Amino acid sequence: MLKEIDEILTRATASFQAASDEAAIEALRVEFLGRKSPLQTLASQMRELSPEERPAAGKSLNSAKARINDLLKEALANLTNKNIGANTFLDVTLPGREPGVGTKHPVSLVIDECVAIFRRLGFIVAEGPEIETVRNNFDALNTPVDHPSRDPLDTFYFSDGRLLRTQTSPVQIRVMESSEPPIRIVAPGRCFRRDTPDATHSMNFHQIEGLYIDEQVSLAELKSVLLAFARELFGPEVSIRMRPHFFPFTEPSVEYDFSCIMCKGQGCPICKNSGWLEIAGAGMVDPEVLANVGYDPEKWSGYAFGMGIERIAMIKYRINDIRLLYENDLRFLKQF
């Protein structure tokens, strides 16, 4: 049997070295390593050997199989190298290819522009974690326990009671608890809500919120800041209006609109013929929120505002579907 194994190994070595294409190598693999190969036949005859002969025969069989596997790998590697050498031609006289330069995502562009504007207005940037506590996301912001936003149908909760923040307002709580007034911050970041995705809603979105805490802060100051921001972002002809609203963490609360940049306030399908584009909410920080972070509401006051980055991007770049921002279609993204 040992002699037969040596003969099979010699024949396999010569065959693999002579193989010139992938089909020939595959045929040899079947011939020498398949279920009907000579080595398999010899392996089935092991029981006919004496106990003294079996160890040497088994060792020789295993060694032959390992060697044939090595021959197979070598033949495939040689074939690959041969093909590469045949198909590769380097013309050193050709000019080098300049690598393509990527561009920023429209959401990143809007965040950068908004932050730059607010920096010029005296704000500094603050950040916080995307995984938050119920206290920072709801309780400290004066959100009632029966508020719909607390429902698991609206908010992503973890098994330990934490959640994916539904707004960037928890950053305001963290900053106020760790700093003494005056405070003047903007907090851009990603938020999460259980919204059904459509042309204007997404479960993952971005906000930028602002907070100013000082003595004798007024709603008029808030309006002046938002007007300055609108004109920096959309042009000097933009105007702003405020409408009464309700938010748990501000009192009084307002929603603010910018005049339509498409029709200059004359009315068009984009603004639903109203001449105004709804942006987001704002208001004076509720005294309960100030008390929750240890501030004296009799001494300190302030305003807060927020807006959706995707909403701003859709207005600024005339995008009609928020889903375009997240589909990673290079034909769309290359425009920016």
What pLDDT digit, counting tens, does each position of 282-306 carry? 999 999 999 999 999 999 999 999 9
For residue 87, the model assigns a pLDDT of 55
Residues in Cβ contact with 146 at an 8 Å cutoff, skipping those fewer than 6 apart: none
Q: H/E element holding 288?
A: helix 287-292
Q: What is the pLDDT of residues 78-114, one digit of tens each?
A: 877 776 655 556 677 888 888 877 888 999 999 999 9
Q: How far apart are CA 218 and CA 58, in angstroms?
A: 92
**DSSP label at residue 314:** H
**pLDDT digit string, tens, across residues 121-142:** 999 999 999 999 999 999 999 9
pLDDT digits (tens, 9 = 90+) for 208-254: 999 999 999 999 999 999 999 999 999 999 999 999 999 999 999 99
Query: Residue 85's pLDDT is what?
Result: 56
184 vs 119: CA distance, rounded Å:
10
Q: What is the pLDDT of residue 306?
A: 94
pLDDT for the residue numbered 210: 96
Task: Note the pTM of the prediction, 2 decimals.
Answer: 0.68
C-alpha 83/C-alpha 222 separation (Å) is 70
- Complete domains list, the chain, with CATH: 2-87 (no CATH), 107-333 (3.30.930.10)
